[in-house]
Amino acid sequence: MPITVDSREFNDLLNRVQREVKLSWTDTGNYFHRITPRDTGNARRNTRLKEKEILADYVYAGRLDEGYSKQAPTGMTDPSIDFFVDNLTERLGRL
């Protein structure tokens, strides 16, 4: 039994998936920024999303991400990964 794929529908679906991944990544960057501990504001001020990277541009970023701050005892990376997976799963479930 041959399987037929409508390439236009497939490409449309692929484009929608790519759009949802990009939106989810933006949401994750915002989430990472939001959960970054804020004492003097330096860490949040120097945390930004650049294309496919979250840049934590301050010397003590590694320390904060290891749970040094009481404001983010599990750091920011692990919770952000969990957020990304949950957010993307929800978005793709709507397609």
Residue 43 in tokens: 């860490």
- Low-confidence stretches of the chain (pLDDT < 70) are none
The pTM score is 0.87
DSSP 27-63: HHHHHHHHHS--SSSHHHHTEEEETTEEEE-STTHHH
Q: How confident is the model at residue 2, as a pLDDT?
A: 85
pLDDT at 87: 98
Residue 36 and residue 76 in contact, taking contact as beta carbons nearer than 8 Å: yes
Q: What's the pLDDT at 95? A: 86
pLDDT at 54: 94
**pLDDT of the residue at 63:** 95
- Quick one: which of 66, 70, 47, 49 has its CA closest to 57? 47
What are residue 49's DSSP bridge partners?
A: 54
